[in-house]
């Protein structure tokens, strides 16, 4: 098919739009928070502390369509199998970008404050010798629950809440995107057990992706300018 006028004269191409938070905080707020992150990370490097970025992802047991090379002019030449999508797995994770290590819990139930408390307990088990742990997380109600904050204090885990509507400042969001590309895109799992096992294996063999993750999980944060 011949190129359109826009493609020829304006060097444009027809691309998918990209979503950004409509209520993103102002630029100075984001920049100040990034400075805090970098300061805490530098302190962690020097004093053997731990820095984590935490968030859940809710994964439906179904295939996720993605791009694939196909012959021109033949819509749907490549097909992928699908499931009913009636079951889902909730993954709550905490990413350590310095060590490229994750602490994860997999469950079918909803994420609530008891789950966050279980994550805090597992984190302290994973880092028993860390003098101090700082965890960045969003403002979900279960993250701010009083008993969650009490347990975090007991374990010497400092909870740092991200500015509202600023997922761009949570490094684990990049990990979830990478995870979906590797495990979910154009992948068919005939049973929930095989689906669960693939996800579990991803985190158990996390070091296999070290080369790719080193370039992905850098401490360079995009600053969003709300329209």
Q: Which pLDDT does position 187 carry in this prediction?
A: 87
Q: Structural domain tally of the chain?
A: 1
Asked whether residue 6 is domain-assigned, the answer is: no
Q: In this structure, what CATH number is given to the domain that contains residue 149? A: 3.30.420.10
Q: Which pLDDT does position 78 carry in this prediction?
A: 67
Contact 95, 54 (CB under 8 A): yes
Report the alpha-carbon distance of residue 185 to residue 168 in Å, rounded.
Answer: 22
Q: For residue 3, what pLDDT band results from cuts at 50, 70 and 90? A: low
Supply the pTM of this predicted model. Answer: 0.85
Q: Is the pLDDT of residue 2 over 70?
A: no
Q: Which pLDDT does position 99 carry in this prediction?
A: 95
Query: What are 5-28's pLDDT values in tens digits?
Result: 555 556 666 666 666 666 788 999
Asked whether residue 33 is domain-assigned, the answer is: yes
Query: What are 121-138's pLDDT values in tens digits?
Result: 999 999 999 999 999 999
Asked whether residue 146 is domain-assigned, the answer is: yes
Pick the closest to residue 133 from 95, 114, 159, 170 (CA basis).
159
Pick the closest to residue 28 from 170, 225, 227, 173 (CA basis).
225
Asked whether residue 164 is domain-assigned, the answer is: yes
Between 72 and 131, where is the model more confident? 131
Q: Is the pLDDT of residue 115 over 70?
A: yes
Q: At which residue do the structure tokens 């630029």 appear? A: 27
Q: What angle do CA 75, 80, 86 make, to 5 degrees?
A: 125
Q: Which two tokens stand for residue 69?
A: 């090379």
**Mean pLDDT, to the nearest integer, of 190-216?**
94
Asked whether residue 179 is domain-assigned, the answer is: yes
Residue 23 belongs to domain spanning: 19-61+86-216
Asked whether residue 152 is domain-assigned, the answer is: yes
Q: Is the pLDDT of residue 83 over 80?
A: no
Asked whether residue 190 is domain-assigned, the answer is: yes
Asked whether residue 107 is domain-assigned, the answer is: yes
Average pLDDT over the chain, rounded to an integer? 88
């Amino acid at each position: 098919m011949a190129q359109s006028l826009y493609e020829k004269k304006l060097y444009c191409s027809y691309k998918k739009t990209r979503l950004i938070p409509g209520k993103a905080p102002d630029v100075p707020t984001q920049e100040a928070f990034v400075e805090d992150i970098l300061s805490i990370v530098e302190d962690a490097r020097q004093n053997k502390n731990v820095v984590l970025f935490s968030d859940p992802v809710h994964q439906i047991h179904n295939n996720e369509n993605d791009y694939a090379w196909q012959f021109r002019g033949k819509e749907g030449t490549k097909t992928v199998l699908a499931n009913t999508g009636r079951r889902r797995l909730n993954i709550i994770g905490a990413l350590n970008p310095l060590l490229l290590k994750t602490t994860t819990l997999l469950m079918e139930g909803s994420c609530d404050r008891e789950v966050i408390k279980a994550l805090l307990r597992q984190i302290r088990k994973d880092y028993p010798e860390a003098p101090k742990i700082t965890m960045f997380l969003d403002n979900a109600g279960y993250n701010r629950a009083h008993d969650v904050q009490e347990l975090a204090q007991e374990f010497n885990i400092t909870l740092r809440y991200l500015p509202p509507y600023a997922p761009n400042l949570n490094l684990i969001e990049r990990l979830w995107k990478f995870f979906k590309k590797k495990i979910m895109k154009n992948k068919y799992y005939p049973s929930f057990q095989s689906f669960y096992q693939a996800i579990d294996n991803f985190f158990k063999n996390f070091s296999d992706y070290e080369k790719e993750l080193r370039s992905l999980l850098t401490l360079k944060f995009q600053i969003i300018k709300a329209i």
